[in-house]
């Protein structure tokens, strides 16, 4: 009996060490993947306009300041690039209108636009697109002919030389994502080779939590 106790202790010690090593590796793996997980959850919530969940993954005060600085920078560069003497007046008016733009983009609609390749372009009248409408469902109790097997009203024939369908939505942008530093994770968006890039920046909050905190409208 006395000889078995040291044997048990000798067996338990390596097992504990193995379990600790596994736990450390799992924690490091989750820590590395945590910004990818946060980005996926944020985008899903923003696309669904789930304001409560979006607020868990967005630092709105920091995002507002970043949007304000970035849009003001775009206006300033436009002023210097144009030789128009009236551009200064236009820029002053534009700066005064930055507030509503920032308010519009620091919302679930704005976050969805930022994460889907539709950032503000420096125009003070920029606004995020409205969320797509769900299909209309009759609610007046009228029967649906198609549901009853009846033929639906035929659509009008397409006119040659014209589009037979509404304008297609913009193609999703090309994205790259990765760590800039241990506490900063950057997602870069670009629609095409010649298109201007911009970035959404997530910053670490605590050990495993991340929040969208800034944008870089110049890539």
Is residue 187 situated within a structural domain? yes
CA pair distance 174, 110, nearest whole angstrom: 19
Is residue 97 situated within a structural domain? yes
Is residue 3 situated within a structural domain? no
Range of the domain at 185: 9-122+170-216
- Can you give the pLDDT at residue 11? 61
Is residue 100 situated within a structural domain? yes
Is residue 162 situated within a structural domain? no
- Can you give the pLDDT at residue 203? 97
Domain count within the chain: 1
Is residue 160 situated within a structural domain? no
Sign of CA dihedral 76, 107, 199, 120: negative
| Nearest Cα to Cα of residue 117 among 199, 44, 53, 41 | 199
Low-confidence ranges of the chain (pLDDT < 70): 1-11, 78-96, 133-171, 192-195, 219
Is residue 154 situated within a structural domain? no
- Can you give the pLDDT at residue 111? 96
CA pair distance 93, 99, nearest whole angstrom: 11
Extract the tokens encoding 96: 């005064």
Contacts of 122 (CB under 8 A, 6+ apart): 71, 74, 75, 78, 217
CA pair distance 85, 188, nearest whole angstrom: 35
- Can you give the pLDDT at residue 213? 97
- Can you give the pLDDT at residue 28? 80
Is residue 132 situated within a structural domain? no
For the segment 23-57, what is each residue's pLDDT rounded down to a tens digit? 888 878 888 999 999 999 999 999 999 999 999 99
């Amino acid at each position: 009996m006395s000889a078995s106790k040291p044997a048990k202790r000798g067996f338990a010690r390596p097992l504990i060490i193995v379990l600790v090593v596994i736990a450390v590796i799992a924690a490091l793996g989750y820590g590395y993947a945590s910004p990818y997980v946060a980005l996926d959850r944020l985008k899903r919530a923003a696309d669904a306009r789930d304001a409560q969940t979006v607020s868990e993954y967005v630092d709105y005060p920091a995002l507002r300041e970043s949007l304000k600085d970035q849009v003001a920078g775009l206006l300033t560069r436009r002023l210097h690039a144009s030789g128009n003497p009236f551009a200064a007046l236009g820029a002053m008016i534009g700066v005064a209108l930055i507030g509503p733009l920032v308010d519009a983009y620091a919302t679930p609609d704005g976050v969805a636009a930022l994460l889907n390749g539709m950032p503000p372009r420096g125009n003070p009248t920029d606004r995020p697109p409205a969320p797509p409408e769900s299909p209309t469902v009759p609610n007046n109790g009228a029967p649906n002919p198609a549901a009853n097997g009846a033929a639906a009203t035929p659509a009008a024939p397409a006119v040659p030389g014209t589009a037979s369908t509404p304008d297609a939505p913009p193609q999703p942008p090309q994205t790259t994502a990765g760590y800039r530093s241990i506490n900063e994770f950057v997602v870069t968006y670009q629609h095409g080779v010649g298109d201007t890039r911009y970035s959404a920046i997530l910053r670490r909050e605590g050990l495993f939590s991340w929040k969208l905190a800034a944008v870089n409208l110049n890539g």
